[in-house]
A and B are shown apart, each in its own frame.
Chain A
Amino acid sequence: MKSNSLAKQAFGVKVQIKNILDSSFSNKLIELGFITGQTIEVVFSAPFGDPIAIELNGSVLSLRLEEAATIEVENTNSL
């Protein structure tokens, strides 16, 4: 099982949230639905690779890479 940061995921791969690292905005991430166990997917990115767009429960949210880096995920296929 390898854990990894959401900032480094390929497009179109479903991943599961393992952990949200502490930050000044972690409470906000959680409020948006980034909670442990939630399945998410990076769907596309802005032209310079940052920010990225993430599908969560049918809606698309945008995160800067540095924000995404605080979300640890795990590939669902490797479960």
Chain B
Amino acid sequence: MELVVALGIGVLVSSGVWLLLRPRTFQVIIGLSLLSYAVNLFIVAMGRLKTDAPPVLSAGADVAQYTDPLPQALVLTAIVISFATTALFLVVLLASRGLTGTDHVDGREPDA
């Protein structure tokens, strides 16, 4: 499972970085979204990967049988924040398209 998660994060990050460096605003926003998915997975992975383990402790239990709840709480916050900022970025993207008439990130087409 570790390998699958690591490969997944790696593929997301590499696609995200590549898209982030592209000249079209839509590519940039998709790149940022992919990167944020990768980061979210990464945060969960940093709490150690474990399946079928409950995050809520009952009294006197062996801690090794449980999964770490904190990264899950962190990831929830991170998802909400990246969702909100992506939505905001989308608005700016549309405003830029409307004002400049092009979807290039610099607001004008590069000279051919």
Do A and B pair up? The answer is no
